[in-house]
Amino acid sequence: MNMNLNQHIKLSPKVEAALKEGCPVIALESTIISHGMPYPQNVETALRCEAAARECGAEPATIAVIGGKLCAGLTEEEIDYLGREGTKVTKASRRDLPILVAKKADGATTVAATMIIAAMAGIKIFATGGIGGVHRGAETTMDISADLEELAHTPVAVICAGAKSILDLGLTLEYLETKGVPVLGYQTKELPAFYTPHSGFSVDYRADSPAEIASFIRAQREMEYPGGMLITNPIPDQYAMPADVINAAIDRALKEADEQHVKGKAITPFLLARVCELTGGDSLASNIQLVLNNVRLASRIAAELAK
């Protein structure tokens, strides 16, 4: 790590020790804490994710910008702070990081920003809920998440439950194909749709074990390919939502967002919150379970990579 970068990045003692010893480490994002869920479920979920990682043998590195420092590994107090502040905290993507560092400000990191800081820290695996993607209507709005571009450039493997089902899943897959990002399905050839295992779209490859996924990641890194890899992990059937219920809620939320002129980085938090309200909280319960499921898989992949 160069000296200029070293002054900006801060590893927790446990994360630093694990990386030095070659032990499994996984990155976790922080916008799920500030913008993805209400308080106190957001903090409870973040701490449950960290506990789940440790139970599976990996050290969790929850990532955020605190006081201008690019932090990989947060204290419980910092996690609680992000949860309490919620949307008052900047939702930080790639473009925001230099500004937050210079201003010594705080930011909760998106998938893109979390990948950047994870790569800086030397963390190869990252578990999240769902990635951003191509928004519905993007052919006229050009609203495409920076997460997709980051996957094309930054060497971190991302484990998720597919792209968020509020998006245009077909166009999201097309974009990833254009950018040369490998998209795997864990024990499936179908792209999961966040709240449901089924989307009707196929992924590039099926992988049946964490060891097999680790072999793909290892080969990509040994070949010095730019960019990362997307591993999609379906939500367990017992926590999935009926497709007609979730799609009806999404359609209504999208209509309301359009009527209220909600755009840009505000759109995803708005839609997730509204879908939660429209489903009586069922979507939040599903969201929590799919994140935990992804953390467990990511930890097992990290353990295989560390062998």
Residues paired with residue 91 on neighbouring β-strands, in sequence order: 108
Q: In this predicted structure, what is the pLDDT of residue 266?
A: 78
Main-chain dihedrals φ then ψ at residue 207, nearest 5 degrees: -125, 135
pLDDT, average across residues 172-186: 97
Q: Which amino acid is at 186?
A: Y
Between the two ends of the chain, the Cα-to-Cα distance in Å is 23
Instruction: Determine whether 29 is an active site residue.
Output: yes
Q: In this predicted structure, what is the pLDDT of residue 179?
A: 97
Distance CA 303, CA 57 (A): 7
Say if CB 73 and CB 36 are below 8 A apart: no
Domains and CATH numbers, the chain: 3-305 (3.40.1790.10)
Residue in the structure block whose two tokens are 């994140």: 291
> Has residue 66 got a pLDDT over 60?
yes
Element (H, E) at 194: none
Catalytic-labelled residue, pool 10, 29, 78, 91: 29
Q: Please state the pTM of the whole predicted model.
A: 0.92
pLDDT in tens, 16-63: 999 999 999 999 999 999 998 889 999 999 999 999 999 999 999 999
Catalytic-labelled residue, pool 50, 78, 164, 304: 164
Q: Lowest-pLDDT range, 208-217, 235-244, 254-263?
A: 254-263
Instruction: Determine whether 124 is an active site residue.
Output: no
Q: In this predicted structure, what is the pLDDT of residue 32?
A: 93
Strands 59-66 and 25-28: parallel
> Has residue 2 got a pLDDT over 60?
no
Give the chain's count of helices (H) and strands (E). 14, 11
Element (H, E) at 71: strand 69-72
